[in-house]
Structure 1
Amino acid sequence: MADIVTTRREGAILEVTLDRPKANAIEWTTSKLMGEAFKDFRDDPKLRVAILKTAGDKFFCAGWDLKAAAAGNDRPSDYGVGGFGGIQELRDLNKPVIACVNGMAVGGGFELALSCDLIYASDRSSFALPEIRAGVFADAAAIKLPKRMPYHIAMDLLLTGRWMDVIEAHRWGVVNEVLPKERLEQRVWEIAKLLAGGPPLAFAAIKETVRVAETLSFQDAMNRVARRQFATVDVLYSSEDSIEGPRAFAEKRDPVWKGR
């Protein structure tokens, strides 16, 4: 099981790889392993950016392991600390996570990608929510997808279960960039290194504000920010980094972010 979810650190970047042939489907044990990996990422102050990738060329992730469920080997009520896939419901994950998608992202695999902050995909990728054909629904996608793309297109995907190729996904803004497979990981690491050099406290404030503001009116959200009622915003505005940014600008040098 240790080989199913592996991690690699490079400076402030953590790469998490799911490798569960043939389709990178997730059952409860795999989900728990992923949750522990992302929990460790969240709690390690030396890590600033995570990359989520999977092994193989055909599937990014086939979602929930239906074969394990049919055999009675799955426990869908206990997917671990971060919920399904270890990231979908992980509380206070206020660091950027990049999805490196190559191949088919199906059902929960599509939802896993949607749980990341940025999605970079190979030109071999495609997306689908086929749960409707089994008489169930993709619950996380039903919540997230209409906020990420035009409502009627999201409903089309949810109601019909049809496939969406990567070009269409990019056109609707679901995918940040489409690249040849040979260039994908290099590009993802370029973005990860860019973010790793950025202001971590500002990133945390962005993620918390975006996440909480989804349930608030614009004015309510702005009032909470102004009153520093978001913990990350309060930390940011009281930090050394909030002074370092303007000082570096005035001194015409690159800022040195300390995360404090």
Structure 2
Amino acid sequence: MHPQLIIEQQGRLLSVTLNRTEDNGVSDSMASALSQLLATAHQTSDAVLLRSAGPDFCTGRIRDAGPTPAATEAYTRRDEYDGIFGSYQAMRGAKVPIIGVIKGRCMGFGTAIASLCDVSFASDTATFNIPEIGHNVMPTMVMSAVYDRMNRNAILWMAYSTDFVDAQRALAYGLVSQVIPEARLDAEVDRFVDVLLSRPRPAILGLKEYLRVAPRMDEQAAIDYARSLHSMVNTAAAMKKNAH
């Protein structure tokens, strides 16, 4: 696994810590390694906890250092972005829920992956922005992650202005689930993780599966899918163990 990812298996929880502490960025290779991890997380875990070791959750995407400069031809350069786009797809497609813990600055790629977490907790001092256009870079990479997480006006305001928003506005925009005073953040995350992991595994996976698939269906298909999944999950043996 990548040296700048700290991976810990804590019972049925897979803890992943972004550990590029020199700048709190995420490199393309880190994003690719995260994708590989998420693809198999369900084999050992019921949930993934994603956080950062540094003072900031993520200050953006960092191109891996190396002797090869960025490609000048569009078709070649497009492949260089696969690690980032692949990580978005992996977060959407993960079979178990991803819980995000956001402290400090959450910028660009950080804003994207925060939005893709299934449940996320932000410190009340966390801030969020989409800075790319300020560097003459089109922010469509981030927008491909947030387009169905935030309302259109909020996305375009953040993308055009590059201004930071505070955690309460990020909550209003749909970027995070909860805003918690920083002194209580870890305790609240621990409490939620305990609650989540007490739920039957079929329900944990079924909720994620439905919200991954149903929004792309028409109304009748979404209803029929809900009926089928409801029957499958609620007849699972694990659902009956703690039933009252």
Shorter-chain TM-score category? 0.7 to 0.9
SS of the counterpart of 1:132?
Answer: helix
Closer, same or farther in 2 for the Cα pair 1:213/1:73, shift >3 Å? same
Structure-2 separation of matches of 1:237 and 1:16: 31
Letter in 1 for 2:181: P
- Matches of residues 137-176 of structure 1 in structure 2 within 5 Å? 137-176=138-177
In structure 2, relative to structure 1, the CA distance for the partners of 1:179 and 1:70 (3 Å cut) is: farther
Aligned ranges 1:234-245 → 2 under 5 Å? 235-244=232-241
Q: Determine if the alignment matches structure 1 residue 53 to structure 2 residue 51.
A: yes
Q: Secondary structure at the match of 1:61?
A: coil
The whole-number CA distance in structure 1 between the counterparts of 2:66 and 2:3 is 21
User: What SS does the aligned partner of 2:51 have?
Assistant: strand
Displacement of 1:102 in angstroms is 0.8
Deviations along 1:85-107, whole A, 9 cap, x unmatched? 87421274121111010111111
Displacement of 1:51 in angstroms is 0.7
Shift of residue 18 of structure 1? 0.8
Offset at residue 192 of structure 1 (A): 1.1
**Cα offset, 1:122, TM superposition:** 1.3
Question: Are 1:185 and 2:186 matched, yes or no?
Answer: yes
Q: Contact conserved, 2:59 with 2:109, CA < 8 A, in 1?
A: yes
- In structure 2, the residue corresponding to 1:88 is in which secondary structure? helix
Cα distance change, pair 103–225 in 1 and its aligned pair in 2 (3 A) = same
* CA RMSD in angstroms, aligned pairs only: 2.9
- Alpha-carbon distance between aligned partners in 1 of 2:2 and 2:46, rounded to the nearest angstrom: 24
Whichever structure has more helix as a proportion of its residues is 2
Equivalence for 1:98: 99
Query: Is 1:77 the counterpart of 2:79 in the alignment?
Result: yes
**CA distance, structure 1, for counterparts of residue 175 and residue 189 of structure 2:** 16
How far apart are the structure 2 equivalents of 1:85 and 1:6?
22
Which consecutive unaligned segments of at least 5 residues does structure 2 have? 72-76
Structure 1, unpaired ranges of 5+: 250-260
Query: How far is 1:38 from its partner?
Result: 2.4
What are the superposed Cα offsets for residues 55-87 of structure 1, whole Å, 9 maximum, x if unpaired?
Answer: 111x2112211574897389873677xx42874
The AA in structure 2 aligned to 1:84 is I
1:138–1:196 Cα change, 3 Å: farther
Q: Which residue type is aligned with residue 54 of structure 1?
A: S
Instruction: Output the amino acid matched with 1:52.
Output: L
- Give SS of 2:57's match: strand
The reply to whether residue 21 of structure 1 matches residue 18 of structure 2 is: no
CA 181–243 in structure 1, closer or farther in 2 if over 3 Å, else same: closer
Once residues 238 and 190 of structure 1 are traced to their aligned partners in structure 2, the CA distance between those partners, rounded to angstroms, is 28
Q: Kindly state the Cα deviation for residue 204 of structure 1 after the two structures are TM-superposed.
A: 1.6
| Partner Cα separation in structure 1 for residue 81 and residue 160 of structure 2 | 26
1:119-165 deviation line (CA, Å, top 9, x unaligned): 11112211111122234333354244353333322221123222111
What is the CA-CA distance between 1:52 and the residue it aligns to? Answer: 0.3
CA 1:240 to 1:167, structure 2 compared with 1: closer, same or farther past 3 Å? same
- Using a 3 Å threshold, how does the CA distance of structure 1 residues 148 and 30 change in structure 2: closer, same or farther? closer
Q: What CA distance in whole angstroms lies between the structure 2 residues aligned with 1:181 and 1:69?
A: 37
Q: Which amino acid in 1 is paired with 2:134?
A: R
Deviation string for 1:215-242 (max 9, x for gaps)?
A: 222222112333x3xxx66752552134
Amino acid at match of 2:189: V
Distance 1:63 1:216 in 2: 32
Report if the CA contact (8 A) 1:13-1:50 is conserved: yes
Instruction: Check if 1:63 corresponds to 2:60.
Output: yes
Task: State how many pairs are aligned.
Answer: 238
Q: Where does residue 137 of structure 2 map in the other structure?
A: 136
AA in 2 matched with 1:43: Q
Aligned partner of 1:128: which letter? Answer: N
